[in-house]
A and B are shown apart, each in its own frame.
Chain A
Amino acid sequence: QKEVEQNSGPLSVPEGAIASLNCTYSDRVSQSFFWYRQYSGKSPELIMSIYSNGDKEDGRFTAQLNKASQYVSLLIRDSQPSDSATYLCAGASGGSYIPTFGRGTSLIVHP
């Protein structure tokens, strides 16, 4: 099993809908989690970090972590065409400075 897995997509949602991006992980990367957004031709940009079970909200973004089920998700409310990008999930273990990145999920928000 890969350490961090994401569906490559694309995930297509209409403008204004909730986009739900999911990521599963192995025990090896089970402490802290990060969501990055990468526009085509650009470098990744940190959106959210989450360290404990439950939800963390920041504007239109909500990160959800469920350590029992080993998944982390990112919800984007009121999706906009400008949210169209690849979303990378990353996880790190407690003793490592090096996060493991998933391959990313492509999100398309159509008007």
Chain B
Amino acid sequence: GAGVSQSPSNKVTEKGKDVELRCDPISGHTALYWYRQRLGQGLEFLIYFQGNSAPDKSGLPSDRFSAERTGESVSTLTIQRTQQEDSAVYLCASSISSTSRGGEQFFGPGTRLTVL
């Protein structure tokens, strides 16, 4: 079966421009997560979606970051007015809906964002 897909795989943009990253989770996975991973660093949680519930946005670093998800389908992460410190790999993961098994996540290949 298909895994988590993300697009684009690479994005180079100029400082100040907006970017939109896309994630398509595994079918049937109601939970969806976005993470940021800077070079040589650990995973930084950004936002969590669970079905039609209000998302947990506690990890978003600033109001330039936003994300949407319609139901249990595709999600988009938008970064407005990009800054050089936004350069990182943005990872999307999905899992089944469970407080214990929510940690059993399946990651997409990531989008490498470079802000010049």
Residue in A43, A90, A95, A102 whose CB lies within 8 Å of B103: A90
Q: Interface residues of A toward B: which range?
A: 20 to 34
Is the pair A98, B33 in contact by a Cβ cutoff of 8 Å?
yes
Q: Interface residues of B toward A: which range?
A: 20 to 34
* A43 touching B91 in the complex, CB below 8 Å, given contacts A92-B99, A97-B48, A99-B105: yes
How many CB-defined contacts (below 8 Å) exist between A and B?
64
Is the pair A92, B100 in contact by a Cβ cutoff of 8 Å?
yes
Is the pair A102, B42 in contact by a Cβ cutoff of 8 Å?
yes
Is the pair A101, B43 in contact by a Cβ cutoff of 8 Å?
yes
Q: Which residues of A contact B (CB under 8 A)?
A: 31-34, 42-46, 49, 51, 88, 90-92, 94-104
Q: Which residues of B contact A (CB under 8 A)?
A: 31, 33, 41-43, 45, 48, 50, 56, 91, 97-110
